[in-house]
Structure 1
């Protein structure tokens, strides 16, 4: 993972996220450790899940200690609480690889938000099984990688994708309407690092043509779901969902057009929250500190 190490003596805003079995004293221990190292906490959120018995916490803190000093202190504290934790510079842009097919709306939205709205990602490439998005990538100066996928070439295509993840030091992969199902092996290799936008309000209408399925059922709300990718199709932990109200006058084409805006909104929020370390995994669910 790409990291930043500020110069010693420079006050830096850090973001610490952690999870551990819930028990008394966690907040006090974390706050005390940060205070001992000159930290001034500027934001703190926590949640104890009664279902899983886990405690989750996200803290932003300003301190002039080096990454090495803070990480060493946290490593000493972690065994006391069986704590999983991560530390990063707040606002650091996460190196992100987009995957798309032919639909441009989600790719365009993320690229625009990165350029103009401060979305904290650094899009280092766009991979597509088609060439339809090549001009869009060129417009945003994003390197374009055409990796065709067929039944016979799927394994080779996924191997190439993993090569790009390694070569480009990718931290996050976003399936921006990438109309391919990732293999179980690839999902395991990139676990917790792949976000997909599904054009339906899961768990309803999984798989292909969800807007047609929704129209057939006469729904009054259409939606989109941004979730982490797992080996189970459209079953990964949900990060964000959004909806749009519709009625019986809307045809399938109308639902598709309305749904594209819903997809953009849900995906952009999920990517932002992931990049800001606001999403913590809680089994097959997520805790999102907004």
Structure 2
């Protein structure tokens, strides 16, 4: 009986040195694998080698791993092997703004975003009907002070562990996570931030942008770190606007670019296309 082929995605990071590509290619051949997509990069800044491969093979995962392990140990690799297209378990946190959540839910249901969304947590009830429209449970966890935040983060830790959550997305979640939580899940939390020149802060950045007559508005999706809004950048987009655009129009444009940018970052992460190189990212798009 012939075993059906499986498409695997293999990512690896190690110190750059001769023979890596030859060795990993040999392991794939030994596992009866066929490379269907390949990307690699060497960082001159850190001296690290990054690689992402998609491989077609009919052998069981255990056999594949047995071929890769000796190579990974020889070169001191950090590596991951996953199935192409497997839906990554993703937890979404929201407040009141619906645009980013709506885009993710729609694209996930349409098969355009390889994530599984078991639940949405919100610190306000405003988006409950939206999540439930797409068949995703919604839980409200109000946060009015430090005690609430501590209790919520402790609950999150338990949920992430028991549910096997692999990615946390802040879809316009307007609460600051603690430094301890950010460090614990570093490289696993993605946030979306409006990007302007200058960088307007506060509750109504689009009104400030309109008042200053900005010509470009945009958004940045980045990993969350203990340093607020300074984590490694995954994706950025900008849109040109005109002096005739109203504040309402700027909000609409800004929400569109935020949604697009966050969803793209989540898609790349779920497809194992995002690798960390210190304070920056390597994106094999």
Using structure 1 for the length normalisation, give the TM-score. Answer: 0.92
User: RMSD of the TM alignment (CA)?
Assistant: 1.9
Q: What is the alpha-carbon distance in structure 1 between the residues aligned to residue 198 and residue 60 of structure 2?
A: 44
Give structure 2 stretches of 5+ with no counterpart: none
Aligned-pair CA distance for 1:192: 1.2
**1:136-185, CA deviations, whole angstroms, 9 ceiling, x for partnerless residues?**
11111101111111223111111122222123221111101111111111
Please identify runs of 4+ aligned residues in structure 1 that moved more than 6 A: none
Equivalent runs, 1:216-231 vs 2, <5 Å: 216-231=211-226
Q: Is the 8 A contact 1:21 1:54 kept in 2?
A: yes
Q: 1:30 to 1:203 in 2, by over 3 A?
A: farther
Q: What is the alpha-carbon distance in structure 1 between the residues aligned to residue 209 and residue 17 of structure 2?
A: 44
Give structure 1 stretches of 5+ with no counterpart: 1-6
Q: What is the alpha-carbon distance in structure 2 between the residues aligned to residue 213 and residue 22 of structure 1?
A: 46
What is the SS of the residue equivalent to 1:199? strand
Q: Which residue of 2 aligns with 1:273?
A: 268
Equivalent runs, 1:176-215 vs 2, <5 Å: 176-200=171-195, 204-205=199-200, 209-215=204-210
Q: Answer with 32-41 or 187-196: which moved more.
A: 187-196
Alignment coverage as a number of residue pairs: 284
Q: Which residue of 2 aligns with 1:137?
A: 131
**1:83-108, CA deviations, whole angstroms, 9 ceiling, x for partnerless residues?**
11100011100011111101111111
Q: Which residue of 2 aligns with 1:261?
A: 256
2:38 matched to 1:44? yes
Q: Which residue of 1 aligns with 2:115?
A: 121
